[in-house]
Structure formats: structure tokens, C-alpha cells
Structure 1
Amino acid sequence: MRHGEGVYIGNPVTRRRIYTPPQGAAVIAEKLKNWEEFVNSPDDFDPLVRVALAHYQFEAIHPFDDGNGRTGRILNVLMLVSAGLLTEPVLYISQSIIAQKNEYYRLLNAVTSEGAWEAWVLYMVEAIRATAVNTLQKIKQIQALQEQVRELAGNQVPVGVVDVLFEQPYCRIRDVVEHCSVTRQTATKYLGELVSAGVLREEKVGREKLFVNEGLMEVLR
């Protein structure tokens, strides 16, 4: 939120000011430099504890007018990758945090006002744990669904086409053409067979046809 020329964090309902982050480009730049040094410093912090501490620090600096929370959570995942706890940035920590948004803000403010670090760190570690469990479940569901689609496709549709269907929840004819090195006519035939088998739903969007992987959409929901 903005108040005059300043940025502040406020209650979204009452608009009451809760926290005023540092102001001024030079001040923010110096604090981000301190944040960067902490994130990359060699010490004995457990990587999960470091993520929790760095997230608070970044949110307290609040360097942008908007998008600080999303940016901070992306940085969390990149820190986990850098620490070797993830090989790919696949954890969607936002889901867990958004589900407990009031508690998230309460604990952030408690660190600022009371120095309540332990409760904050425990909250963040649990959010990461819950996200990891949920993500593993989704990966297993997607793998099982992919195998099921391969069986339904049988010999009528190449495995490469099935793989394209799981790169994102929908595909276009040109995606199959490009990934599988087939003609547009052949790609259309393969996708039509998957529509007939109930694997895909065809949807017209403008001049294009989208082929929606309903099973994958349901897992991702």
C-alpha cells in the first residue's frame, strides 16, 4: 500500500498501517546487500532455517511496491536448489502460505515487534514440509496418470505424443508437430484419437484448437 510517497504494509480490510519498511533507494540497496551476504555466507545454519531467516529479512526490506511476497517465495525455492535440497525448483510454497495467510502475517509481525524468531522458523519449516509432501503426492499422481494414458493410447499414438500432453495441461497441434517431427495432418490425427479415447477435451480458442488434458488439470487443481 502507499501513503503519500511511502510504501507501507497495512491490514487489507481496515487499511490500518501495520509495518513501514525502509525508505529510500540507498537504504534499501544497503539492506539488500546485507541480505545477499547473509544468504551466501558460509556458516552452520541449517538450509531450512536460513530460508526462514532470509525470507523474513527480504519481506522486512520490502524493496518493491508490489510482488514482494511472490518474489520472496521464489527466492526461497531457489535457495533450496542452491543448498542441494532440490534438483529442480518444483515446490510451490505459496499454496501452503496462502492457506494460512493470517498466521503468516501474524508471525512476520511478531518477529518485528517481539523478536519471536522460533515460532516464525517453525512455521516456515512446516510450510516447506507440507509443500514437499503435497508435491510428492502430485508427482506420483501425474506419473500414474501418464502411464494410464500410455496404456489407453496403445499402439495408435506414439509415446512422444503422450509426453507432450504432460508438459503442460493443454497442447496445440503445432506442439505435437514440433516435438514429434510429424506433419500437421498426422498430429491432428493423433490428437483426435486421444479426444475419442476421452483423454483430451478439444476446445476452440480464437482461430486455434486447444487440446486440454483434463486428468492433468484435475491433479493440478
Structure 2
Amino acid sequence: MTLNGIKKLPVTLDDKQALRIYKRLAEVNKVLGKLDAVLESSIINTSILSLLSYNESVQSTRIEGTQVTFHEIMENSRTGAKNWQQREVFNYKRAIDYGFEQIQQEVPITTRLLKSLHKLLMSDEARGTTSNGGEFRKIQNFIGPDKNIEHASYIPIGAHEIGDYMTNLEFFINGSYHKSLEVKDETQEVISYDSDALLRIAVAHAQFESIHPFLDGNGRLGRILIALIAVQENLLKHPIFFVSEELEKEKIRYYNALNATRGENPDWNPWLNLFLNASEQMALNILKKINKAEEHARKGLEVCQTQTQRNVWLATFSFPVATASQLSVYTGYHSATVKKALDYLVEKQLLDRDNSVRRNIPYYNYDLIRVIQSN
């Protein structure tokens, strides 16, 4: 059966569904609060944020079919992308960083910002650059197994309706009243512009995916939107709300739950429950990664004998695959000084060196890479 279009926000739930969801919501918010506190107190918080962002970029693009690994991205972060799949990952990371900068400057999440982020995602000959980067689609699109609309599982709203639907979503995201968000039946439980931040994030992501305003890149941009709204709403201080890794594990369930929110009789219950479960698992998984990375960092600091060695060691938490010259720029030390510290860390079995290379020798913090990749 083909689903057609979506209803505008807000979302209505029956009382039993709402009760279960609000109970689950309280549990997940508690875990997210713990994640924020642990991250703030970590000695490697700046480094781990960047690496987790790269990992999210990898996982989010994998949902849509790329085969790039985190290790591969770390190896090519010095030299740049070697193919379209890597470019897609680097573009995703650039878009997250740019969006975070804008929110720090108190720029609201608007259509204008989303178009700028989409342009970044589509740049540099990544997949979908022919799809008008930064511009809403002007034709009908659809989601299905092939290029035949008759086989579509979902046909989004028409191109002429995108403006109205995006205005409705924009006010919802930013927690502001708009006439399109008025509730007609006040006897039902409603998730609207003034509801809990985490529920609004869940709804906003699904609604954006269903509007499908761009010809390509909607999935990636919709997942970036999750992280940015979380920062804007002070749910987390940094753009670390990365659920792609969890959603990628249950890809079919993810798509089925999104589909349930569409058409004339939407059911938001499967999606809200899936999103809350994925959010909790994401937070617990990131907590585990931060704790393991912190333990690894402290273990290395105990082995270091000089401040230079300590600084170079911690620098490898920002660049787990790096050369002496790269870390020289980062730390401000002469490259010969950095190389000496790196070789000491290799001797202490904290790092690995590529002995097959004579110039610009890369050094690997494999234990850290393994921590970030773990799930």
C-alpha cells in the first residue's frame, strides 16, 4: 500500500500511549543529563567530541548505503577524501560543525539554515550534487524500491506545499506559536511547540523526513537536525546527540516506524518509542566510550615523563592517525620534538608507527580508534 502525504503538526496521542511515552521520557532524560555531566568533566572532552562527530558522520551515511569505516576516515582526515563516499562523510562533519557554530551564535533553526546545511552536504561532488544543493525540490519525489512511482511505499507532499509545511515545522522546532499549530480537539494528548524537548526532536525529525523537501540528502540532514535541536534546547551542551549508530542497527524498523507517521491515519506511537529507546542506548553507548577513552588517556599520562610527552599524547586523542608535522602544528612544538615524544609513546606500546614509511610517518592510536568504533 502506498502512503500519500502527511498531516501538519502538532501530533495527537491517545491517553494510554501518552502515559507510557511520558514514563519512558523521564527515564531517557535522566540518562541524557548524566551524559552531559560526564562529558563536561572529561579531560578529553574536546577531542572526544570531534571523534564522536566523525563516527556519527560515518554511521549516518552508512544508513544510506556507504561502506566507509571510521578507521578509513581517520586515515584520510589528513589528506582529504579519495572517493565520493568519503566526501559524503566529510561533508556531513562540516555540516554538523557549521550548524553548531550558528546555534552558538543564537541563529535559530530556520529554512535558511537548513538550506545552507544541505548545500554543504551536497558539495564537492558527493552523491546527489545534481539534486540542486541548498534548494527545495520543484518536482514530485517518492520513496520506493525502484524508479517507478507505482511501486512507491511513500509519496511525499507536492512541491508547491513544501513552504507551508516547513513554516509549520519551523515554528514547532523553535518552540513558537503559529496559527497552523492550533489544536482542534483539546480532549486528546498533544505534542506541540511547547512540549518536552526530546519529544519535539523526535517529531521534528520524522516530520522533516516525511516532508522530504530536497531531492536528495533528506535522511542525512534530518539526522543532523536531531543533534542541532538538542543543543538549541539545552538538552546537551554539544552536538553529540548522535542516534544514527543505533538506528543503523535496526534500519528496517526505523523506516517502518517513520512510515507509520504518514498518510491519513498516522500512528506516532511506534516512532516515538523507537526514538526514545535509541536515544537511551545512544547515551549509554557514548557514556561507555567516554569512560573507556578517559581511562586510556589517564593510563598514557601516567607513563609520560615530561609535559611535552603528555601534551603530544593528548594531541593523539584529537588526531588518532597523525604525523609528527601535523601534531607539530596542533601543539606548537617543533616537529623533531614531537617525533621524539611519539617514538617514546610507541616504545611504551601506547601508539603504533607505520615502519614501512620513510617520510611523513603516520602514528596510530589504535586503542582509541577501537573505543570509538565499539558499539
Q: Same fold (TM over 0.5)?
A: yes
* Matched residue, 1:45: 195
Task: Quote the Cα distance in structure 2 between the aligned partners of 1:91 and 1:207.
Answer: 39
Task: Quote the Cα distance in structure 2 between the aligned partners of 1:158 and 1:168.
Answer: 15
- Correspondence for 2:277 among 121, 126, 150: 126
Does the aligned pair in 1 maintain the 2:322–2:362 contact within 8 Å?
Answer: yes
Is 1:196 the counterpart of 2:374? The answer is no
Q: Considering only aligned residues, what root-mean-square deviation do their CA atoms show, in Å?
A: 2.5
Matches for 1:118-157 after TM superposition, within 5 Å: 118-155=269-306, 157=308
Matches for 1:5-20 after TM superposition, within 5 Å: 6-11=140-145, 16-20=151-155
Task: Quote the Cα distance in structure 2 between the aligned partners of 1:155 and 1:163.
Answer: 13
More strand by share: 1
**Could you tell me how far 1:208 is from its partner in structure 2?**
3.1
Residues 205 and 37 of structure 1: CA distance in aligned 2, closer, same or farther (over 3 Å): farther
Q: After superposition, what is the alpha-carbon deviation per residue over 1:160-202, rounded to whole angstroms, capped at 9, x for unaligned?
A: 1122011132222123212332212111111111122222122
**Helix, strand or coil for the counterpart of 2:153?**
strand
Does the aligned pair in 2 maintain the 1:49–1:121 contact within 8 Å?
Answer: yes
Q: After superposition, what is the alpha-carbon deviation per residue over 1:73-119, rounded to whole angstroms, capped at 9, x for unaligned?
A: 11111111111110111232100111111111111111114411122
Residues 111 and 159 of structure 1: CA distance in aligned 2, closer, same or farther (over 3 Å): same
Task: Tell me which stretches of 4 or more aligned residues in structure 1 moved more than 4 Å.
Answer: 204-207
**Helix, strand or coil for the counterpart of 2:362?**
strand
Does the aligned pair in 1 maintain the 2:175–2:194 contact within 8 Å?
Answer: no
TM-score by length of 2: 0.53
Is 1:32 the counterpart of 2:166? The answer is yes
* Matched residue, 1:99: 249
Is 1:116 the counterpart of 2:267? The answer is yes
* Matched residue, 1:72: 222
**Helix, strand or coil for the counterpart of 2:235?**
coil
> Which moves more between the two structures, 114-123 or 73-82?
114-123
One-letter code aligned to 1:140? N
**Could you tell me how far 1:20 is from its partner in structure 2?**
1.3
Task: Quote the Cα distance in structure 2 between the aligned partners of 1:94 and 1:55.
Answer: 12
Task: Quote the Cα distance in structure 2 between the aligned partners of 1:106 and 1:51.
Answer: 18
Does the aligned pair in 2 maintain the 1:70–1:94 contact within 8 Å?
Answer: no
Gaps of 5+ in 1: none
Task: Quote the Cα distance in structure 2 between the aligned partners of 1:121 and 1:19.
Answer: 19
Q: After superposition, what is the alpha-carbon deviation per residue over 1:136-162, rounded to whole angstroms, capped at 9, x for unaligned?
A: 111111100100111222338532112
Residues 174 and 35 of structure 1: CA distance in aligned 2, closer, same or farther (over 3 Å): same
**Could you tell me how far 1:134 is from its partner in structure 2?**
0.6
Task: Quote the Cα distance in structure 2 between the aligned partners of 1:9 and 1:145.
Answer: 44
- Correspondence for 1:181 among 305, 326, 332: 332
- Aligned-residue sequence identity (percent) comes to 31
Does the aligned pair in 2 maintain the 1:156–1:190 contact within 8 Å?
Answer: no
Structure having greater relative contact order (Cα 8 Å, sep ≥ 6): 2
Is 1:220 the counterpart of 2:355? The answer is no
Task: Quote the Cα distance in structure 2 between the aligned partners of 1:50 and 1:158.
Answer: 46
Gaps of 5+ in 2: 1-127, 132-138, 177-192
One-letter code aligned to 1:96? E
- Correspondence for 1:210 among 339, 342, 362: 362
**Could you tell me how far 1:205 is from its partner in structure 2?**
7.4
- Correspondence for 1:160 among 288, 291, 311: 311
**Helix, strand or coil for the counterpart of 1:208?**
coil
One-letter code aligned to 1:88? H
